[in-house]
Amino acid sequence: MIFLSFLLWMGEILICKIPTPIFINLSHFEGICLLGFLIGKQGGKVKLLGLKTEIADLSHMRRSFTLVDVLLLLAIFGDAPWAIKCSLLCEQGNLAVIRPHSVTITEFGAVGDGVTLNTKAFQNAIFYLNSFADKGGAKLFVPTGRWLTGSFDLISHLTLWLDKDAVILGSTNSDDWPVIDPLPSYGRGRELPGRRHKSLIYGRNLTDVIITGDNGTIDGQGSIWWDWFRNQTLNYTRPHLVELMNSTGVVISNLTFINSPFWTIHPVYCSQVVVQNVTILAPLDSPNTDGIDPDSSDDVCVEDCYVSTGDDIIAIKSGWDEYGISYGRPSKNITIRRLVGQTTSAGIAIGSEMSGGVSEVHAENLRFYNSTTGIRIKTSPGRGGYVRNIYISNMSLTDVKTAISFTGRYGEHPDEYYDPTALPLIERITIEDVAGQNVKYAGLLEGIEGDTFLDICLLNINLSVTSKSPWNCSYIQGYSDTVSPEICEPLRERIFPDHYSDCYCLSHHLQSSSNQNRGGAWLSW
């Protein structure tokens, strides 16, 4: 019997088949997607012509796959671009991670009456569990109750688990949320110059962190912070509900997050992040309560989430003006799927803080209702950076003011030192298969004079629009096909085969990135 073993090493998949090794030239992210497809496949061992493949995933579990699985997967890459997005990254949220050590928060004196402050109990429990980090990690169990606490820090190889009726409550005393330095890619607090409050649940320089449970709740009790913001009595920028910095292997799943003081879930400078099966709620008039904000982060999967908040459901960011340009860490390789929600802002936004760059964003199966905007890209002179290679498909809109919005005049800056000549590059944005009912404007697509947004491609869009001027376009170039109501003049050119390389979509990306980035054939067999 011949065995094929797969290894992901420095962005290459090496198929070791005795006696000749075979290389499939893939980017690092595509390699992860291929492995994820295989690892995610269920079922037992199947023999085909005496051939069997065997693969070990990152959690040391072993499953078997036939050679035909591999061949079929490679064959369909060009025709079914979203098939590969069932990646290891998204699948890791479904893998049961067994921690050999576990404690309950009550063992450290916590009282779940909603009144007793339990910050020390959380801190002491996590300090104790740190001794097991090199022994397989540990789990902190939060049982039924209302557990009031200030900010606390997570550690590597930790699972924070909330029982079904467990509620972690953020303190309403600002002193329980310490003040920390601003992010280097922002140069200051996002709302106010200077420092910022630490998030309720915080982690930095971590590996293998899981925040999950049986649909327990994390409640930021943000109304007091919203009042301070409206009354302009804050001294520092408001805290997020959850923030992980410089961390790898983060899973946030099966929980409800409510009433964040500021952005709800904020992975920043992170890699390999999964946010899965979460509900995020805040009043529609609550200020800046974004749902999920991947920020200068890569290999991110967001799926099966419901969000209803006072700001963007998802906002992809990468730093602010000269600070983001200098820091230079982009957000890239981001998958969003099966997302439902309502908002007074955008369903999916990119920017406005995008100075480190945003690329390779793939979103599908989106449903937004009672919202201001479906998809929004926001930037301005001074941002620099880029937004490119964005693919969005299968979006349903109901009672939405504007289906698609691009703005090059979102002109908020951190200070007077930004460079107004630093112009953003916006290119290769493809949006297709969009249906909408009771939409006021189909699209407000406004680039920047002297900095046209390029290769904007809209396909198969059917919107029931109430405005007599459904499209407003300026400083924009691209193509369209099967768009109703009739598209604006700058995008009226039909998409013909000669334009396929201009209109970004995943299947073309897979083939071209392999050839361009590695100088090899798509598949050397």
Tens-level pLDDT at each residue, the chain (525 residues):
333 333 333 333 333 333 333 333 333 333 434 443 343 333 333 322 333 333 333 333 333 333 334 334 434 443 444 335 445 678 766 667 899 999 999 999 999 999 999 999 999 999 999 999 999 999 999 999 999 999 999 999 999 999 999 999 999 999 999 999 999 999 999 999 999 999 999 999 999 999 999 999 999 999 999 999 999 999 999 999 999 999 999 999 999 999 999 999 999 999 999 999 999 999 999 999 999 999 999 999 999 999 999 999 999 999 999 999 999 999 999 999 999 999 999 999 999 999 999 999 999 999 999 999 999 999 999 999 999 999 999 999 999 999 999 999 998 999 999 999 999 999 999 999 999 999 999 999 999 999 999 999 999 999 999 999 999 999 999 999 999 999 999 999 988 777 778 899 844 443 344 344 333 222 222
pLDDT of residue 442: 99
C-alpha span between 29 and 497 (Å, rounded): 27
Q: Is 371 exposed, middle or buried (0-12, 13-18, 19+ CB in 10 A)?
A: buried
- Tokens 């449903």 identify what position? 367
DSSP 3-state of 35: helix
Domain presence at residue 66:
yes
What is the per-residue pLDDT for 90?
A: 80
Asked whether residue 350 is assigned to any structural domain, the reply reads no
Per the annotation, the verdict on 311 as an active-site residue is: yes
Query: What is the DSSP pairing of strand 331-343 with strand 346-351?
Result: unpaired
Q: Are 341 and 370 in contact (CB under 8 A)?
A: no
Say how many domains are in the chain. 1
Instruction: State the residue range of the domain holding 8.
Output: 2-94
SS3 30: helix
Straight-line distance from the first to the last Cα atom of the chain, in angstroms, rounded to the nearest whole number: 20
**Which string of b and e fits 502-521 if b means at least 16 CB within 10 Å?**
bbbbbbbbbeebbeeeeeee
- Between CA 273 and CA 299 the distance in angstroms is 6
Q: What is the 3-state secondary structure (H, E, C) of 96-153?
A: CCCCCEEEEHHHHCCCCEEEEECHHHHHHHHHHHHHHHHHCCEEEEECCEEEEECCEE
490: helix, coil or strand?
A: helix
Handedness of CA 4, 5, 9, 13 (dihedral sign): positive
pLDDT score, position 318: 99
Q: Measured between alpha carbons, how far is 180 from 236 in angstroms, rounded to an integer?
A: 10
Nearest to 93 by CA among 215, 206, 212: 212
Quick one: 354 exposed, middle or buried, by C-beta within 10 A (0-12, 13-18, 19+)? buried
Tokens 């998030």 map to which residue?
A: 199
Q: Are 142 and 216 in contact (CB under 8 A)?
A: yes
Would you say 365 and 403 are in contact if contact means Cβ atoms under 8 Å apart? Answer: no
pLDDT value of residue 134: 94
Paired with 454 in beta bridges are 427
- Please check whether residue 333 lies inside any domain of the structure: no
Map residue 171 onto helix, strand or coil.
Answer: coil
Identify the bridge partners of residue 445 per DSSP, sorted by sequence position: 406, 473
In the block, tokens 């981001």 appear at: 334
Task: Give the whole-angstrom CA distance, residue 271 versus residue 276.
Answer: 16
Q: Residues 480, 442: contact at Cβ < 8 Å? A: no
Q: Does residue 34 fall inside a structural domain?
A: yes
Task: Please indicate, yes or no, if residue 16 is contained in any of the structural domains.
Answer: yes
134 inside domain: no
Q: 361 pairs with which residues across the strands?
A: 334, 390
The single residue of 208, 311, 312, 455 carrying the catalytic annotation is 311
Query: Within 10 Å of residue 451's Cβ, how many Cβ atoms?
Result: 15
